[in-house]
Amino acid sequence: MKGAVAARQCLFQRGMNIDPICPMCGSENETILHMLALCPEAKRIWYLSPLRLEVEKYEGVGFGEWCGSIRVLHKDPHWWNILFAILWGIWLRRNVWSYENRKKDLMDVIQKAVSVVGDYEQAQQALSSSEGRHQLLESKWKPPTQGMIKINSDAAIFDNSAVGLGGVMRDALGEVVVATCLCLRSKYEVDVAEALALRHSLRIALESEFRKVCLETDCMKVFSHLTKGCAPATILGMVINDIMQLARGCQSCSFSFVKRSGNGAAHALAKLSSSYGDLRVWMEEVPSEISPFVMADLASAFE
């Protein structure tokens, strides 16, 4: 479309000592439009192709205009994929004819074009469906990989201007290694409270000598700040910065998101915090109120 293809007429116009006549039909100058569409050799390919294109029905003094007049009638991307693949095939066939003196079969050009487009479209589909899978949000609790500890955290906002923070740490078998809760007598925004719960849980994990951790939250905002590694200049940002600072003290630290349905144990701990006056940490056990949530996670994770 930019006139850059080395058809004979183009080279001739640029001053090359070359015969501008089409090497295939020998009857007209080889412009880009002639070579790719109007030459009888190209015409037959277009007509035999699945597009059944009658090239003279479209107008234009140059190749770009010719494409433009086709564009008015055809909008389907798949149709255009085939058109471009055939254009490429015609160009390659012309080169073999011109430089190697070989005549490639017309049907080979068409079949090759169709198969290239098929491969391309299949690859595109596979790509978009795998991206789609990544975007599906996890709704069930899943155990961490061997050797890692997954830390689920959550916050509960109480009406009497207090927030509860809960955290539960489990290994690859789904066994609780540490559980904790803490009630703070202050008012916080929900996102800030969620980040505070995560920070509190991470501190307890580090104090318990766990250094390979996966931090899981049901707060998308906190998750997204942590994965991007950026903290806004707000209270939330300050807590996010603290978490990233603590994460540097880990051997490995990853972040994951789970819907609230997969974060029940941490949520129950956060709520339970109001019945204790101060910080609580349980090693290798959980309060009886939390057990059903842990069991439910286990059942769904290993079902």
Give contact residues for Zn ion (rule: CB under 5 A): 22, 24-25, 39
CB of 12 to Zn ion, least distance (A): 15
CB of 19 to Zn ion, least distance (A): 13
Q: Which 3 state secondary structure label does DSSP give 244?
A: helix
Q: Which of 129, 97, 125, 93 is nearest to 112 (CA)?
A: 93
User: Which whole-number Å values give the CA distances from 37 to 32, 181, 290, in the listed order?
Assistant: 8, 74, 74
User: Which whole-number Å values give the CA distances from 262 to 216, 218, 283, in the listed order?
Assistant: 10, 8, 22
CB of 127 to Zn ion, least distance (A): 39
Distance from the Cα of residue 220 to its chain's centroid: 17
CB of 25 to Zn ion, least distance (A): 3
Nearer to Zn ion, 9 or 180 (CB): 9
CB of 79 to Zn ion, least distance (A): 25
User: Which whole-number Å values give the CA distances from 143 to 132, 183, 194, in the listed order?
Assistant: 23, 27, 21
CB of 41 to Zn ion, least distance (A): 6
Nearer to Zn ion, 93 or 200 (CB): 93
Amino acid symbol at 279 = L
Nearer to Zn ion, 24 or 32 (CB): 24
| Cβ neighbours, 10 Å, residue 200 | 20
Q: Which helix (H) or strand (E) holds 197?
A: helix 190-207
Nearer to Zn ion, 44 or 74 (CB): 44
Nearer to Zn ion, 24 or 214 (CB): 24
Torsion of CA 116, 117, 122, 125, to 10 degrees: 140
Nearer to Zn ion, 5 or 25 (CB): 25
Q: Which residues lie below 8 Å from residue 241, measured CB to CB, with a gap of 6+?
A: 231
